[in-house]
């Protein structure tokens, strides 16, 4: 495993598609954040700012065949994704904690650390009380932050 540590500022693009009961919503978000590579794992950190809401700090970890997303703001969400597996997820709100589960149908990533560009895709089913509440697709892309126009 690579012991080298890389810490760079990157541009981040995140697209989430939510399918629930014959309805589909798409959320797109662009920001700047930090990419950190440590002991072979890739970490992306950024702050999500949505008008009318408090800031949410997000940490995404990509490692081999797993992806983890931790979100900390008005609520705390921790989700793990491994293709073909059902994993516990935690959603903590001021009103209490909800036990959720994710079932990851696909997970892939294509990352070039030499050029500091990459993408990851995950598709998963979200369960609450053993009932499916939605199907989600996440596309995450990052590029090295530079002063050049892309």
Q: What's the rounded mean pLDDT across residues 17-39?
A: 92
Fold of 6-144: Lipocalin (2.40.128)
Give the model's pLDDT for residue 147: 52
Average pLDDT over residues 101-128: 94
Confidence class for position 127, pLDDT limits 50, 70, 90: very high
The residue-averaged pLDDT of 76-100 equals 92
Choice between 97 and 62, residue whose per-residue pLDDT is larger: 62
| 121 class by beta-carbon count within 10 Å (0-12 exposed, 13-18 middle, 19+ buried) | middle
d(CA 57, CA 72): 5
- Given this model, what pLDDT does residue 3 score? 44
Give this prediction's pTM. Answer: 0.87
């Amino acid at each position: 495993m690579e012991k080298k540590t890389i810490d760079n500022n990157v541009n981040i693009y995140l697209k989430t598609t939510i399918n629930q009961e014959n309805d589909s919503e798409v959320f797109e978000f662009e920001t700047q954040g930090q990419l950190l590579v440590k002991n072979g794992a890739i970490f992306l950190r950024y702050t999500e700012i949505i008008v009318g809401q408090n800031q949410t700090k997000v940490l995404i970890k990509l490692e081999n065949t797993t992806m983890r997303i931790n979100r900390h703001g008005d609520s705390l969400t921790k989700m793990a994704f491994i293709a073909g597996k059902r994993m516990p997820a935690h959603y903590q709100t001021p009103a209490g904690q909800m036990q959720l589960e994710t079932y990851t149908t696909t997970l892939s990533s294509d990352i070039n650390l030499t050029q500091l560009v990459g993408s990851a895709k995950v598709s998963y089913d979200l369960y609450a009380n053993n009932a499916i509440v939605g199907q989600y697709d996440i596309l995450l892309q990052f590029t090295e932050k530079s002063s050049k126009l892309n």
